[in-house]
Amino acid sequence: YKKLKPIWDVDDAIALCDILLANPYLEAKSFASALLHKFKRDFPKKLFFKIEEWLCSDYCNNWAAVDVLCQDAMYSLLLKYPELEEKIIEWPFSVNRWVRRAAAVSFIKIAREGKMLDTVYKISVSLFEDDDDLVQKANGWLLREAGKSDLRRLENFLLKQGSVIPRTTLRYAIERFDERKRKMILIKTRPEKERSRHKKN
């Protein structure tokens, strides 16, 4: 990056991503994403639509590639252009599993800082019906990060949503609670049939 900085601009980095993200090797994808983020101060709004294109084209066709790209690039874009959160709200309904995972991962750092939490929880609810394990885990990760800034809000959210939350998502989301609170949340959010069975036993 130090060598390229004097002669490259953000458009050059985007062009490199167009080439390397299509490469089948994760190392190439990760390198391209990391270099792109070095130009974060100059990110144009149009980069959002390019990232959406990369995701829809399955350039990021595994969880690691999605996470490396979206955690950093989307974080910087959302801080610079907060109106883009309205676009990501549509991602949980995509037919593409990587776009759906990206909906959660794009807000990881934002949620950790306690920003845009209304949108974070809205996206989380939209992902509850997703039966993809990698999407459920990302959603739980998102909720866990949101809890770092407001643990009480997370607890109230989980108890209110109850049994509609996939158990994989829930177990990730409650990791920062103490053991007693984790057990309480797990019991109170059990599906009704499981709770009835538990009482009988």
- pLDDT digit string, tens, across residues 77-128: 999 999 999 999 999 999 999 999 999 999 999 999 999 999 999 999 999 9
Its pTM surpasses 0.95: no
Tokens of 116: 């845009």
| Alpha-carbon span 42 to 24, nearest angstrom | 28
- pLDDT digit string, tens, across residues 45-85: 999 999 999 999 999 999 999 999 999 999 999 999 999 99
> Taking the mean position of all CA atoms in its chain, how far away is CA 76?
14
3-state secondary structure 13-54: HHHHHHHHCCCCCHHHHHHHHHHHHCCHHHCCCHHHHHHHHH
If 0-12 CB within 10 Å is exposed, 13-18 middle and 19+ buried, where does residue 1 land? Answer: exposed
